[in-house]
Amino acid sequence: MIDHLSAVKIESSTRSYHHGGLRQAVIDEGLRLLDANQKEPDALSLRQIARNVGVSAPAVYHHFPDKQALLKSLADYGMQMLAEQQAEAAKIGGETGFAEMGRTYVRFAIANPGLFRLIFSHMPMRISPSTSALKGSPEWMLRDYIKRTLGPTATAREQFAAVVRVWSLIHGLSMLILDEQVDHQSAEELLDEILEVGGLRLKVRTQT
Amino acid sequence: MIDHLSAVKIESSTRSYHHGGLRQAVIDEGLRLLDANQKEPDALSLRQIARNVGVSAPAVYHHFPDKQALLKSLADYGMQMLAEQQAEAAKIGGETGFAEMGRTYVRFAIANPGLFRLIFSHMPMRISPSTSALKGSPEWMLRDYIKRTLGPTATAREQFAAVVRVWSLIHGLSMLILDEQVDHQSAEELLDEILEVGGLRLKVRTQT
DNA sequence: GACGCATCCTTACACTGATAAGATGATCGA
DNA sequence: TCGATCATCTTATCAGTGTAAGGATGCGTC
């Protein structure tokens, strides 16, 4: 309780006690660490984030019920970011735009490894032949393109199978690259050939 | 230091002080927990394993330099298990055997989620156009089949692209199912259609 | 029979996510 | 302008983690 000590304390705390935008600051720092780490998203430490933001760990709990909720928020942000890039690519339209969506997906994964992993480990979507996507979402754009390509005679099962096939291809390639199963550089160089853009196959077969 | 207490202690410890096959017991218990948990492999606790085996945590360190090494051993076991199943499927031979390898891969992932994740997060293989696989390994079998299918005129780059394309498809489907992006049941029902077995495509195009 | 060494134990440390209870300060009604 | 309210942040604490250091145990070998 010495004067100058408490004075210093008050001075430093007046600047930081009510942080203002803590929630956003935590999310920003989380994204930054996720980007810097390159590692498993679970390795991301809530306390580390709080420390870097200049706040005690329990303060975070006033903005997120628990760590999972924080990660979910980061995943939401990542999903939105991916969706925007996908929408941008889709604007090109037609087969070219469709191919560009595939490239964009894989490149997003390479550019944001931690975030990409987080998205798919924290956002179960459970698409099935009977579920329908939100209009304008990446999934909707994919389904829409495939519906048009397959023609009106295709059943829901056929459409579902085609969607999952295309998605599996680009998602699998992304994961294999991130997990270093496949040489990063070679795969990126041969991206179009792997996805069969310019060949026949990123699009589904037009008819049997 | 009461007599019967120390007696009990000695009695119980004489049975377990030198465990005998601790290393194997740890691996077995690790596999068991991995199977039971269904969760992220990193959630697996070294201390929990030690507890279940009836041994103190640091005892594990006499058999594995650190936790990562333990996980690596589990991954090795998993990889061997997957390879055996793949080899079994390949015995069928021809296009049918090739298709069966794809089904087997996906079904292995569904049956062993934790182990499957562990394999690909702890065993970088870095295949590229210039690397070559160990004869008899799943990768070798895949490359061999594709080489024969594409014919002698195909370049290493073309072969690599075809291998990665097929692998991406089955690996991506596996991951999407495990991460619950795609409805498990629907996907398994439509497995052949997604992989385009019986259609045209699990095999690569025969010619342009 | 004593020594040596692999194997295991206890203890301890620095981290993690999470809870509880108290301090702080902005905001709004009297 | 004062005082109460309430969101926000604090410190203290707990159970759990991976791992390091040093001591106990008991098997195999000279």
Q: Tens digit of pLDDT for each residue in B150-187?
A: 889 999 999 999 999 999 999 999 999 999 999 999 99
- The separation, in Å, between residue A47 CA and nucleotide C23 C1' comes to 21
Nucleotides of D under 7 A from a protein CB: 7-12, 16-22, 25-27
Q: Are A78 and A115 in contact (CB under 8 A)?
A: yes
Write out pLDDT tens, residues B37-75: 777 888 999 999 999 999 999 999 999 999 999 999 999
Between residues B155 and B205, which one has the greater pLDDT?
B155
Neighbours of A104 (CB within 10 A): 19
pLDDT band at A129 (very low <50, low <70, confident <90, very high): very high
- The separation, in Å, between residue B76 CA and nucleotide D26 C1' comes to 32
- b vs e for A86-96, b when ≥16 Cβ sit within 10 Å of the residue's Cβ? beebbeeeeee
Mean pLDDT of chain B: 86
Q: B119, B126, B142, B171: best mutation site toward chain A, by most A Cβ within 10 Å?
A: B171
Nucleotides of C under 7 A from a protein CB: 6-12, 15-21, 24-26
Quick one: average pLDDT of B136-163?
91
Domain B71-208 class, CATH top level: mainly alpha
User: Are B126 and A181 inside 8 Å of each other by CB?
Assistant: yes
CA distances to A94, A110, A114, B146 from A185, rounded to whole Å, are 28, 11, 19, 22
Quick one: average pLDDT of A93-116?
94
Select from 3.30.70, 1.10.357, 1.10.1060, 1.10.575 the CATH code of A75-208: 1.10.357
| pLDDT attached to residue A3 | 30
Q: Is the CB of B5 under 7 A from strand C?
A: no
Write out pLDDT tens, residues A183-195: 999 999 999 999 8
Q: Are B147 and B92 in contact (CB under 8 A)?
A: no
Domain boundaries in chain A? 1-64, 75-208
Residues of chain A with Cβ-Cβ distance to B176 below 8 Å are: 120, 164, 167-168, 171
Q: What angle do CA A119, A124, A126 make, to 5 degrees?
A: 135
| pLDDT attached to residue A16 | 53
Q: Which tokens hold the place of B155?
A: 């370049």
Q: Whole-angstrom Cα distance, residue A200 to residue B7?
A: 77
DSSP 3-state assignment of A182? strand
Residue B117 pLDDT > 50, yes or no?
Answer: yes
Q: Whole-angstrom Cα distance, residue B33 to residue B38?
A: 9
Where do the DSSP E strands lie in A13-164? none
How many CA atoms, within 13 angstroms, populate the side-chain half-sphere of residue B148? 10
Going by C-alpha positions, the residue among A126, A97, A125, A119 that lies closest to residue A175 is A119
Q: Is the CB of B199 under 7 A from strand C?
A: no
Going by C-alpha positions, the residue among B136, B173, B158, B135 that lies closest to residue B204 is B158
Mean pLDDT of chain A: 86
The set of residues, in sequence order, having a beta carbon less than 8 Å from that of A33 and lying 6+ positions away, is A44, A48, A49, A52
- The separation, in Å, between residue A56 CA and nucleotide D17 C1' comes to 21
Q: Whole-angstrom Cα distance, residue B94 to residue A193?
A: 25
